[in-house]
Every structure is written in structure tokens, then in C-alpha cells.
Amino acid sequence: MLNYEQQEKWSKIVPNWQSPINIDTLHTIEVNAQEKILSFDDEYRFINIVNKGNNLQYDGKGKAIIEGRTFDFQQLHFHFPAEHTIDGKSLPMELHFVHQNMIGQIAVVALYVELGEFSKELDSFFQDFPVNESEKDPFSATLSLNNLIASLGSGVYHYLGSLTTPPLVKNVEWWVIEKPITVSVEQLDKLKKRFNHGNAREIQPTNGRKIIHYVLR
């Protein structure tokens, strides 16, 4: 029960769970999802690209159903190298698909990128965009997260954390797709050359958080 006489202590009730974290696969909770945990509109439609200086943000529209709740897709951005690690292993890049629902909950779907085969699905996003810092340009592309994730045959890690850039908003749901998608060296270089200094936050302490590993169906 909340003690209204000692409200100064309330902040200690909410743990400061931050992101990104290392996912220790020996200590995840394995769950065989009985229903579809993650489902996305067949097309996310992208409309703008914004140069945030140390990132590019692709604004778009679309709906996701996450654990039976409807979320609006808002924007995609990325990090070099990947922010979440799995058993300490770091990958070259991580895409963040940011969603929000009507009551303000934030859910981020994180997709790893690894070097390998050319990606047709992601090619529109891996371009040497001319847009200057702090400017916004029209950008037209579509993407099917459903197809992309299904093609990976991947599970997903789920835990509660924060945004990884200030203001580091807490209570963010993370859905980290286990298997990476591949892009070619040429594709990666088109984006990466603008962000040579990197834009990944350091790994944060897990502090006893539960990490669930869902086998997707």
C-alpha cells in the first residue's frame, strides 16, 4: 500500500531499469508462445527522413499488435554498433522500430544487422542520403516487418528497460529479435560512413530483471 505520509520514498519503488543490456541466454525464461506475440501491418509506410546529427530517423505510419495491444509505429532509427549484446557478443548495427500506444506505453522492436547478403527489403533505407543536419526531407518507402521477421525464423527476447538516448524514458518494452538480418558491405558503408564515431549507449546493469525468450510462431 502506498504511504502518502512518506511520498519522498516513492521514487525507490520504481527501479531504475535502463537499456541497453547484455542478454545472458543462460538466464532467460523460455516461453513457447501459444498465440502470436508480435504482429505488424503488412506495410509500414515511411514518409519523412530527419537528420538528427548523430542519427537518421525515418518517420512512418503503421499498426502493430503486441501481446494483444495495438501500438502505432512512429519511427525507425539505428545504432552503430548494436546496443544490446547477446552473451557479450556485439553485432555491427541495430535497428530500432519505435511504437507507442494510446496510453503512452512505448514498445521498441530491435532488429540486429549483420554483414552478409544484400538486403532488398532494407535497400531503400541504406542510402547515402543528402539531407543536412537538423533537416527533414520527404522519404517514401514501405517495409513489412511481418515478412522480415518471419523470414529470419527467429525468437524474440523481451524485457523492461528505457530509451537509450536522453531523456532515457523508463518503462519501455523491448522486443529484441534474436537473429540478425544481413545487408551487404556496400549497403552498410553507405550509412556508416556518416556515423564513424558510433552512436551506441554503453551496456547497463540488468539488476535482476527477468528476460523472457519467446519462440515466435
In the region spanning residues 3 to 22, those forming contacts with Zn ion, defined by CB under 5 A, are none
138 contacts 129 by C-beta, under 8 angstroms: no
Shorter beta-carbon distance to Zn ion: residue 144 or 165: 165
From residue 189 to residue 208, the character string flagging contacts with Zn ion as x (rule: CB under 5 A) and all else as - is --------------------
Q: How far is the CB of 97 from Zn ion (least distance, A)?
A: 9
Shorter beta-carbon distance to Zn ion: residue 84 or 96: 96
Shorter beta-carbon distance to Zn ion: residue 99 or 208: 99
CA distance 143 to 120: 10
Give the count of residues interacting with Zn ion (CB under 5 A): 1
Shorter beta-carbon distance to Zn ion: residue 78 or 214: 78
Q: How far is the CB of 96 from Zn ion (least distance, A)?
A: 4
Closest alpha carbon to 121 in 44, 69, 178 = 44
Q: How far is the CB of 203 from Zn ion (least distance, A)?
A: 14
Cis ω before 15 (30° cut-off from 0): no
CA distance 177 to 95: 10
Closest-by-Cβ residue to Zn ion is 96
Q: How many CB atoms lie within 10 A of CB 125?
A: 22
DSSP collapsed to 3 states, 43-82: CEEEEEEEECCCCEEEEEECEEEECCEEEEEEEEEEECCC
Shorter beta-carbon distance to Zn ion: residue 96 or 158: 96
In the region spanning residues 66 to 105, those forming contacts with Zn ion, defined by CB under 5 A, are 96
- Amino acid at position 18, single letter: Q
Closest alpha carbon to 114 in 55, 185, 199 = 185
Shorter beta-carbon distance to Zn ion: residue 33 or 160: 160
In the region spanning residues 155 to 184, those forming contacts with Zn ion, defined by CB under 5 A, are none
Q: How far is the CB of 20 from Zn ion (least distance, A)?
A: 9
DSSP H or E run through 170: strand 170-177
Q: How far is the CB of 71 from Zn ion (least distance, A)?
A: 16
Q: How far is the CB of 30 from Zn ion (least distance, A)?
A: 27
Residues that bind Zn ion (CB under 5 A): 96
